[in-house]
A and B are shown apart, each in its own frame.
Chain A
Amino acid sequence: MKALTAMCSIMAKDMRTYYLKPPNISWGIIFPLAWTGMFFVKTGTGLESLQGVLPGVVAVAVLFGTTSMLAVTVTFEKKGRSFERLLLAPISLELLMLAKTLGAIIFGIANALVPVAIALGIGGIEGIAWGPALGAVTLTSIASTFLGLFIAVSVSEVFEAQTFSNFFRFPMIFLCGLFFPVSQLPLVLQPLSYVLPLTYAADLLRYSLGSENVLAPGLSFAMLGMFGALLFVGSLHCVRRRWIA
């Protein structure tokens, strides 16, 4: 019960201090819109291609929304030494890191809802499987958050976290079949796509948002779960090795 109080409090503090700030809210709305707009301008297509674009936009919104926040909620607090206060609290490191990431996971899910709501408002999308879609968005948010966490705990400075995040994020946009199918990539790059979590997230989102998917949904769910678990365990290992040295 005491651990739960601490966890909820950490999450609520992060939400209030970082996530519910106007710049983040506006970023969560503007960013998916900008990506959708860019795609339409580039391809010259209209609303009829919205259904095909939506999974990619949702995945990008979640990826950027979650990973960009961890540099602040974790690396910045570590740099300012306020993170020590959390390390001194009598809760396990696992619960502490879950509390620190829960806000980002919820923020990621909320970011995903923006393009979906806009698409529904505009019309022209159909066949959304809401259950799998929610599962896909949640798992995508978890895996992306833990990727952000892994980066955040592997560096010492906020700018390093941001730089490394971009180092992973931008190649992933092109390698994970978000806007172009993996099969259209050069053969040498295709295996690389399958070691990136976003590939499975994008395919799962395509399946649940009424587009054509390539991989079995069960496999994508399992792979996303595995990536999430590995990244979380890796992050804990990093904290123990680097921050409680």
Chain B
Amino acid sequence: MIEVRGLTKSFDGVRAVAGIDLTVDRGELMGLLGPNGAGKTTTLNMLTGLARPEAGTIRVAGIDCTRDPKAAQHLFGVVPDDSNLYPELTGLDNLTFCASLYGMGRAERTERARLLLEEFGLGDAAHRKFGGYSRGMKRRLTIAAGIIHRPAVLFLDEPTTGIDVASARQVRQLVRDLHRGGTTILLTTHYIEEAERLCDRVAFMVEGRIVTVDTLENLLSPVSDTHVLVLVTADPTTGLTPELERLFPHLRFEVVGAREIRVESRQPIAVGPLIREIEERGATVMEARRERPSLESVFARITGIHADQMKREKERKGGGGGAS
């Protein structure tokens, strides 16, 4: 459905997207996962015609979008990372206006808008101005606006960034429902859990390149038999890991935060000796928790970037919100 070859884009001499290849099959939900500045939004902008590629080709449903970016725009819906509807229009007016941009007739667009407002739990707010909506409501209406014309392909840019946990859950359910309905979806996210929960396939994007792309099953298979233990200490763990690695050569240690050590092993990890050794070196262990191997481990292993680091970066740049 979407076929991208050698897509490249630079801004002021800085390579934002460096010759990426990507294919999204019909009806598939593909996630583009990466930290801030990885080039996810730039990629989406090029796919939708909001930015001009420097090199490469884009085909959506067989239509060459590089030659004529407008040619396939009737086929897709776009939900940007920012809820960019008109604050002075009501929810209903926003949706009917967006429908009219795709040439839908008055009766059809009103009916479709009302239906979506109900489906998205916004029926009671239909006649309230969009500017007065909560962030979660804005997000839901923006998604509704993206699918008002029943697009075959939906591009979602950071769908749950900046909204509360309950709204994020609702949005994820809406995305799942759309996917079940047969819509091809390409979503960008910096929430690893979100990609893991929603996507059929995930592409890891770092510094403008796609470093890995595969199904969740294949991505998780190398870590499926891995045991993970996270130790939280009261004191900084600086300098502790080299000694622990010497004492427990079959374990893999990784310092995640100043007070957090992540331990991985192919065999079950005995917690007692580990805690004893750490405490003998003056650090008090406050918490020890087992974690199931997740996409996070795979992502960190491949890219060297941790989920917390991505969240912190996004929050620093004003993203906020969460994907709980």
Establish whether residues A89 and B102, one from each chain, have CB atoms under 8 Å apart when the complex forms.
yes
Given contacts A81-B80, A84-B84, A90-B73, contact A17 B89 (CB under 8 A): yes
Stretch at the interface among B47-55, B180-188, B293-301: B47-55
Establish whether residues B101 and A87, one from each chain, have CB atoms under 8 Å apart when the complex forms.
no
For chain A residues 13-50, which have a beta carbon within 8 Å of chain B? 13, 17
Q: With the chains together, A93 CA to B48 CA distance in Å?
A: 15
Given contacts A87-B49, A88-B50, A88-B78, contact A2 B88 (CB under 8 A): no
Can you name the residue of chain B whose Cβ is closest to the Cβ of A83?
B84
Residues of chain B within 8 A of A13, CB atoms compared = 86, 89, 97
Establish whether residues A244 and B51, one from each chain, have CB atoms under 8 Å apart when the complex forms.
yes
Interface size class of B (residues with CB under 8 A): 20 to 34
Partner of B50, one of A6, A17, A84: A84
Q: With the chains together, A5 CA to B87 CA distance in Å?
A: 22
Given contacts A82-B85, A90-B74, contact A5 B51 (CB under 8 A): no
For chain A residues 79-104, which have a beta carbon within 8 Å of chain B? 80-82, 84-93
A8, A88, A92 pick with most chain B CB within 10 angstroms: A88
Q: Is residue A3 contacting chain B, with contact meaning CB distance below 8 A? A: yes
Given contacts A87-B49, A244-B52, contact A2 B86 (CB under 8 A): no
Q: With the chains together, A85 CA to B80 CA distance in Å?
A: 9
Q: Is residue A9 contacting chain B, with contact meaning CB distance below 8 A? A: yes
Please classify the interface of chain A as helix (H, G, I), strand (E, B), loop, or mixed, using the class held by over half of its residues.
helix
Establish whether residues A82 and B84, one from each chain, have CB atoms under 8 Å apart when the complex forms.
yes
Q: Is residue A1 contacting chain B, with contact meaning CB distance below 8 A? A: yes
Residue-by-residue, is B86-122 near A (CB-CB < 8 Å gives 1, otherwise 0)?
1111000000011011111100000000000000000
Q: With the chains together, A195 CA to B291 CA distance in Å?
A: 73
Q: With the chains together, A85 CA to B50 CA distance in Å?
A: 10
Establish whether residues B100 and A85, one from each chain, have CB atoms under 8 Å apart when the complex forms.
no
Tell me the smallest distance from the CB of A73 to a CB of chain B, in Å.
12
Tell me the smallest distance from the CB of A231 to a CB of chain B, in Å.
23
Can you name the residue of chain B whose Cβ is closest to the Cβ of A13?
B97
Q: With the chains together, A90 CA to B50 CA distance in Å?
A: 12
Residues of chain A within 8 A of B49, CB atoms compared = 87-88, 244
Tell me the smallest distance from the CB of B76 to a CB of chain A, in Å.
8
Tell me the smallest distance from the CB of B127 to a CB of chain A, in Å.
15
Q: Is residue B70 contacting chain A, with contact meaning CB distance below 8 A? A: yes
Can you name the residue of chain B whose Cβ is closest to the Cβ of A6?
B101
Residues of chain A within 8 A of B98, CB atoms compared = 85
For chain A residues 36-86, which have a beta carbon within 8 Å of chain B? 80-82, 84-86
Q: Is residue A122 contacting chain B, with contact meaning CB distance below 8 A? A: no
Q: Is residue A117 contacting chain B, with contact meaning CB distance below 8 A? A: no
Given contacts A13-B89, A80-B84, A81-B82, contact A90 B70 (CB under 8 A): yes
Residues of chain A within 8 A of B88, CB atoms compared = 17
Cβ contacts A to B, 13 pairs, < 8 Å: A2-B102, A5-B104, A5-B105, A6-B101, A84-B84, A89-B102, A90-B70, A90-B74, A93-B70, A244-B49, A244-B52, A245-B51, A245-B52
Interface of A toward B, CB cutoff 8 Å:
1-3, 5-6, 8-10, 13, 17, 80-82, 84-93, 244-245
With A85-B145, A244-B69 known, 10 other A-B pairs at CB within 8 A are: A3-B103, A5-B100, A6-B102, A17-B86, A17-B88, A17-B89, A86-B101, A89-B73, A90-B74, A245-B52
Closest CB pairs A-B (n = 5): A2-B103, A9-B100, A89-B101, A90-B74, A81-B84
